[in-house]
Amino acid sequence: MNPYNTWEQAFAPEKFSTPDPFCYPIYSWVWNDDLTKENIYEQLDFFAENQMKNLYILPISKKFRNNMPSLLQPDYLQDSYLDTFRDAILYGKEKGLRFWLYDEDAWPSASCGGQVVRKYP
């Protein structure tokens, strides 16, 4: 039985007034600036305080579009970027947030921010 299919079970007012985090909207969290631990933690605190329980990180790398500058630092997929990403997830989980995986730097999917085409033209 799927616990999220309401037609399979009686209406439960307590679940309606305090739904499972799975039922909350999912917010896009755009990363396109200098990523500092303090700034990230401040934003995650804001999300938690405002019941923004589900997030996905949408990085906009410096190479995404030539006519749309991005200040993302550390840049997409660098070791320090991945460390920052991990820190954000761990801190957010402590605050009761859930993270969904967005599969790419902006788009299109599977290009690794253009790295695949540059390496394998």
Instruction: Identify the pLDDT of residue 3.
Output: 64
Instruction: Identify the pLDDT of residue 18.
Output: 83
3-state secondary structure 24-49: CCEEEEEECCECCHHHHHHHHHHHHH
- Pick out the chain residues at pLDDT < 50: none
Instruction: Identify the pLDDT of residue 82.
Output: 95
Tokens 């399979």 map to which residue?
A: 8
Instruction: Identify the pLDDT of residue 17.
Output: 83
Phi-psi region of 70 (alpha: psi -120 to 50; beta: other; left: phi over 0): beta
Instruction: Identify the pLDDT of residue 105.
Output: 74
What are the extents of the domains in the chain?
22-119
Residues 6+ apart with CB under 8 A from 41: 91
Cα separation of 95 and 82, whole Å? 20
pLDDT digits (tens, 9 = 90+) for 85-94: 999 999 999 9
Count Cα atoms within 13 angstroms, Cβ side, for 102. 20
pLDDT digits (tens, 9 = 90+) for 75-110: 888 999 999 999 999 999 999 999 998 867 766 677
Q: Is the pTM of this model over 0.85?
A: no
